[in-house]
Amino acid sequence: MEELKCISCGGKIIPDKELMIVVCEYCGNQQPLPAEIFEKLKIEQIEKQEQNNKELRKENIKHTAKVAKVLIPSVIAFIILMVVLFALIIPGVRYSKAVELKNETNYIKAADIFYRISNYKDSKLQYNECRYLQANVYICSGQYYEATALYKNLGIYKDSEMLFNKYKFYELKVGDIITFGNYEQDNVLTNGKEAISWRVLAVEDEKALLITDNLLDCMEYAERYKKVTWDISPMRNWLNNNFINTAFSKDEQKRIILSNLKTADNAKYKISGGKDTTDKIFLLSEQELLQYFADKNDRIAKSTEFAKYKGGYRSYAKSYIYFWWLRSPGLDGEDAAFVTSDGNIDYSGMRNCAVRPAIWIKLDTPQ
């Protein structure tokens, strides 16, 4: 860069890189710094700053590398320690504790620990074994409800399925869903009948009232244009002859109780309910529906694929929810009342509705 001199005294001037005006230190004269010189000075300053930054980054990289060289092995060692701790040491300690509890017959707490370390050794097997043993303890203490819940959950473990079927009728609660009997439901005839699911509506005096959880079939209640009541209906005949022999074995039929049924008259339309009957299989009456299904939304039930195949009235707006028969008389005496897809009771008469059988069964008692 060319040398700058004071225009007043001729003295040498050293420019300030931050100022466009320079002052002579000899005579104090002020004079403007040429623009091209100022720009060159700024460029030199920027280049120097970039060089300093570059060197600083290199130093930082070297420092980071040194720190990483020291820390990474420590971090890896810590991670390995944690993996060993959580995968082996802690589960091992818990496993030993669970085995100790199991040996002390504290099966509930042991099962809880085995469940939380289910991927360690044979913990899954031990978990099932503890639940199985606890179910046996429940049986010995007469807690059949708790026992059957465990046997059912264990499925095919050991003889759990057999024990569940043996004790499932010892104790039931309202709202329980149990299986009893078999009937075609998936509409695949080649794979045999499927187990029927029943909802428990009432439990009293060592017996329980059940209704199918799903709608099993669809058919007409009676012949067209003929007056009918429950006692002389084809529906009653079909349930207590065809259905009972199709759905239940001889031993299962022995568990079903003969029920004395009274079907009230339809007071609103002055239609007779017919004679009292004694049946094993029946449909709910209007009064029973109101008693056991106070919430109309709870009355809505799904149809099996077989029932859908058989047809029947349904609501297209409500995912094909089907209407289902009651045994109470309808408005004209030619049909029965029925439950709509909204859960309401309708008396207007239908030709073809779904069938939802109900039964009373006797419960087992300890010997």
Query: DSSP string spanning 277-341?
Result: EEESSB---HHHHHHH--SGGGG--PBPHHHHHT---EEGGGTTEEPEEEEEE-SSSSSEEEE-T
Do the domain assignments include residue 356?
yes
**CA 131 – CA 124 distance, rounded (Å):** 11
Token pair of 137 as six digits: 């303890």
What is the phi/psi pair of residue 46, to 5°? -65, -45
Residue 315 lies in a domain: yes
- Whole domain around residue 315: which residue ranges? 211-362
Q: Strand, helix or coil at 231?
A: helix
Q: What is the pLDDT of residue 1?
A: 47
Neighbouring CB atoms inside 10 A of 226's CB total 11
Contact 354/309 with Cβ under 8 angstroms?
A: no
Closest by CA position to 180, among listed 366, 358, 327: 358
How many domains, the chain? 1
128 is a domain residue = no
Task: Please state, in angstroms and rounded to a whole number, the distance separating the CA atoms of residues 274 and 260.
Answer: 13
Does a structural domain hold residue 230? yes
- Type of residue found at 340: T
- For every one of its 367 residues, what pLDDT tens digit does the chain have, with 9 covering 90 and above? 456 667 677 667 666 555 556 667 667 666 666 666 666 767 777 777 777 778 777 777 777 777 667 667 766 766 665 665 455 567 888 899 999 999 999 999 999 999 999 999 999 999 999 999 999 999 999 999 999 999 999 999 999 999 999 999 999 999 999 999 999 999 999 999 999 999 999 999 899 999 999 999 999 998 887 889 999 999 999 999 999 999 999 999 999 999 999 999 987 888 999 999 999 999 999 999 999 999 999 999 999 999 999 987 776 555 667 899 999 998 888 889 999 989 999 988 777 899 999 999 999 987 6
158 inside domain: no
The pLDDT assigned to 46 comes to 77
Tokens 């300890």: give the residue: 366
Q: Does some domain include residue 14? A: no
Encode 58-90 in three state secondary structure: HHHHHHHHHHHHHHHHHHHHHHHHHHHHHHHHH
**The pLDDT value given to residue 226:** 86
Q: Is residue 342 part of a domain?
A: yes
Domain membership of residue 149 (yes or no) is: no
144-175 b/e (C-beta count within 10 Å ≥ 16 → b):
bebbbbbbbebeeeeebeebbeebbbbbbeee
Q: For the chain, give the longest Cα–Cα distance.
A: 139
